[in-house]
Structure 1
Amino acid sequence: MKSPSYALPLLAAFAGASRESYDEICPSKDGQTEPSNYGSDITYYCGKQFPREGLIDTSLSEDADICVTRCQETAGCIGISWLYQFKECQLFASGDNSLRGRRGAVSIVLTDERTVDEDYLFAGARSYGQFSIGDDYYEGQGADGLTYDSGVCTDESRRCRNCQKHLSECEEAEEKLEGSLKSCKQGSKDAEDKLDKCRSSSKKLEQDNKDLQKDKSELKKESRELKDQIAILPKPMDERQVCPAYKGMLMRQAKGTWKISCQQGSTGKVYRRTGDNFNSCLEACAKDSACKSVNYWPKNGSKRCVMFNTSAPNGGSVRDPLVGAVLVGRY
């Protein structure tokens, strides 16, 4: 019968630096097979490495002893390749029949062996009956008519358990992937919804921009029309244009309607004097509710604009330039 697949070789000398550990194995043990205390034989192959196709795990390891221990703890592991230069431990599930050359590597193949003497087993069984070898265990009919089972597992049963373990892991991984896929689909749907909202907002912004451009164009048109209207409006006249052309006539200017007299002006009490020009003088009077008339003396400088709060009849004529303007109405 075969023992459980535990492999821990007698590598007590594997200590110290990785190079020293390698030198203790190679080349002195190359091709040698040694028994272990745990029911396995180990065979050394110096300068050899398992093919990558059978790799099941890799990790860092200071020596080959640690790497072999990891192999015995890993389901399905049949051997290791240890690369001392990189302190790399590689575990393999197959490929021991096709080792490849690799400098600085040592491969160790683990082989299960029977640890119970079969002759002793069958000798003891003869007193109970003949035992036959089954696929997964030894069983036989004893003298008392009962069926006896040695309970010892074979490589086939261990592979089944390993397959079952891997199957469970695959099922768990499948459930996680399905959950991730569901989350991914939900995320994709959320992203599509956000994209639809962005498209709607983009269309609205495009329409708003078109409306703004239209309003801007209309405002530019109104501005041009206003400028054209301003251009054709009559400009304010000064005192030289008013007299004598508008003598005794009504004139509309500076927010008011005025009755013009030339070389004659209003009489009465003066309540304000300024140095404004003719148009500004009229405009100031039109804005002042107390102002009734204006005498404008072009030569008087800072006192040329004289305002009255009465509209008394015009006085006599004078020689100096004078424009008299009586406020008839405001607009």
Structure 2
Amino acid sequence: MQAFKLGADDFFVKPLDMEESLLQIGHHIERKRMFNSFSMFDELPGAYNRTYLKEIYSQQLSSYARSKESFCLALLDLDLFKGINDQYGHLMGDQVLQAFVEYMKREIRPTDHIFRYGGEEFILLLPKTNVKEAETVLNRLLESFSKKMFTHKKSSFYCSSSGGVVEVHNNEWLLNKALHQADEALYVAKELGRKKIVASSQSKLVKRRTLRMAIIDDDSIIRTMLKELLSKIDVGDRYEVKIEVFKDGIEFFESEWIHSSDQYFVILDGMMPKMDGLEVLQKLRQQKRHDQYTVIMLTSRNSE
């Protein structure tokens, strides 16, 4: 009774009957595996979840340390999936996710693993595979899936996917590093027109985009502080960041710096002389290029 109160699942009385003990231990192990599968499974699409990804990735690193056989991690994303949800509804979107996972599980090897990373993004771990082999396999799988027709009422549509893949050949590579490189390659695949696989090494060949950050504030201390903070933010290899400060909205709109096709991130003070922050925001919205701007407005009132 004391053992059970302390949390024990079972106990054995000596001398042991080995046959009986092995059966009891086997049942406990099977139950543990069942509980693990429930806690590490994403029920909707039928793929493993991110929690289990960490465990399997760690196992792959340990396997590499022993065998020195590299493995690949691929980040896969269903193209224009938001449009499917918007046009056909989220229930249809769920069916597409389930169909994708079911298709991948049928086609991949028993030793491969598929995980739902989030939304319409999935991770595929391919043990004992180099990047060229992974590219060949993934291109074949994604090309075949893109030919599957989905029907909704009287409409029909297809769903393609893109992917970035990285070869892991160093047992000191953390999961975050592999995911970052695969994500960079996926971004390039999207930029190149989607419906393709790009290896991490290829992603370095694509020119980085420019992200322009503007700080519009009449307080010089705030401008200096925010510029210093923004300059320290790591945005990865996708963007080259350019930061400029402006004392008010008039100076901002008169600057040649804003006449570009780049994306803009604007930190805008709500209260300024000459042109109030709301006036700046309104003028930005009236421009034809308004979708290039992402704005955060500082709106403190009464020293809050």
TM-score by length of 1: 0.20
Q: Which has the higher contact order (CA 8 A, sep 6+)?
A: 2
Larger fraction in helix: 2
Q: Which structure would you say has the larger Rg?
A: 1
